Structure 1
Amino acid sequence: MIGIELPTLNTNDSSYTLVEWLVPDGNSIEGEEPLAVVETSKASEEIESTGSGILHVLVGGGQECRPGQTIAYLFESAQERDSYRASAVTPATASEPPGAELRITNAARELADRHGLSEAELRGLGRTVVRTADVETLVRRAAPEPASGERRLSKRQRTVGAVVTESMRTVPAAAAYAKVDVGQAEELARQLSERTGSFVSLPVLLIKAVARRHAAHPLMFAALTDDGAVRESERAHVGVTMDAGRGLYTPVVHDAAELSGDRIADLLTDL
């Protein structure tokens, strides 16, 4: 019998979510191959087998798990697995006597308190051990459906959004720069300026190019809400940071995808 332990995938997290098993429980594994998908606050990663054998799952899909935890076993044969199942009660199938004391993990209790969930509501889950994933299920049930134009975010997306928002509030901003050949873009801007009589610059072309990506990347134009969702915009509005000698400000070019280059140029000139 070989134990499959969950490695440390992200030093910032004390627990992860086992999203799904890629190999059904009880199937045969031949050598190293992807077994499961585990989600951290930063990414989803595949966990590979550490050998060959018959897979016996200990942690179900959607459940919380922690680094170093044994999430499955590999048995040499189906007979060995059957013998183990007959002689041992696994965590996934363990039964508790009626009236057993409810056990709540610290992370789950903190989340439940944050959302005002009572112990009676937690008992209503029908579990003897309540984990973070169980509380999140209750929260989703109680939460109203996202308003029209909103999309519910995954746990990873909510975490990233919260971290980025906090970093923008508390950490000095930095910038990365790359050299790009804009010769063709400059020539296009010159031709548009001559044809329209407006001053079409590289920023004008960039605003237009960004706006045209609205259909392909709608989340670029969405606003993060406080309830773990984003409010999508039906139109491509592009903010432009400017310095007119009185400090930085960010006017917004509305419906930029619908505007011509010379119209955007005129708007920027007026600003």
Structure 2
Amino acid sequence: MSEFRVPKLNNNDSAYVLLEWLAEDGAAVRAGDPLVTVETSKAVEELAAEEAGVLRRLLQAGAECVPGQAIARLLAPGAEATDAEPGVEPGAGHSPGTAPDDAMPGDIVITAPARKLIDERGVSPDEIRALGRKVVRRADLEHLAAGGSREAPPPGGPAEPGRSPTPGLPAIPGGEDRKEPDGGAAGELISLSRAQLRTAEVVERSRREIPSAFTLMNVDVTDALPLARDLTRRLRALVGLPELVVKAVGGLLDAFPLFFAAPAEGLRARRATAADVGVTVDVGRGLFIPVVRDAGGRPLAEIARDLTGFRRTALEGAFRESDLRGGVITLTLHTHDGVAVATPIVFPGQTCALALTAPRSEVVQDGAGFAVRKVCGLGLSYDHRFVNGREAAKFLAAIRTALENPGHFTT
């Protein structure tokens, strides 16, 4: 018999959620067979058996697990599980008495964070079934809980007029009659998703540990935009400014090694072997930063297909930790109309982060007259211990030159 333990999937999370068992309890599995999916704060990871055996589950779907925890055992053929974890029935996959709650009709599995939100906000079984999901996570329910169609009382029951519904919060003038613009009760606590909590931790750490500076440069992309549309047709892959910027950044690794380096002890920096560029993706289900590998050594068409695939994966919520790991510099996209300036944080383990805004029309002098040009903002946040303003300006200027003379973007 051997124990199947949860590996350490990243350095960011102290606990994960066991999403779904992929092999039946009591099934004979071979080495390499997928057994279970585990959700971190940013990704879904599929874990496989390291050896052959008969699977005996020790944890139910939807429960939290920690790195190193045994969640199953692999028994020799013909052996029986006699020492399952306390509170778990061998072969059942659910704690006694919990199956009707956590596995709804139709084999819907509800994760522990989702169950907590259901209990807090009174999400009905019909609303859960209407989602049409086999595994229901907290992020799937947040729009229901915040939709304003119900008004759940705060913990402890309705508040008296003029009294705070939550201990430690100041009293609300006007009592329970006051409402927030979205229909929720004023003073009610809003829970953040696991992904947003992780984002908060990274931002706090960055602000605390990294003395960053910021430089902004305007880039004329009038000629780059029609070329991107032409490349989209020719390469049969969606090409826009983000794809062109990633390719341009990838080509600067040798000329600007400190911009891609990782801080090391003694105010030294570890050189990157490839320009692995992280690019932000946010389709309304949280912020993800998947990594385009070797942006300097691969064709533009491959980079474009990578980014298209990342957007599709973000919609499906199926990133793997390997998709998000190993970036040496980050490009943050701020492409909503009207965003003129964006200052990214420098992520721990990196020295620089770029920000790209959407193109906007500007009137510029053109000889004796004026012309309307398309201009975007390209900003750079940098760890001032390793990079100075002069080098930052030269780095941005190199990217600007590539975008303003885009004829070299051909493949």
- Class of the TM-score when normalised by the shorter of the 2 chains: 0.3 to 0.5
Q: Which has the larger radius of gyration?
A: 1
Normalising by structure 1, report the TM-score.
Answer: 0.47
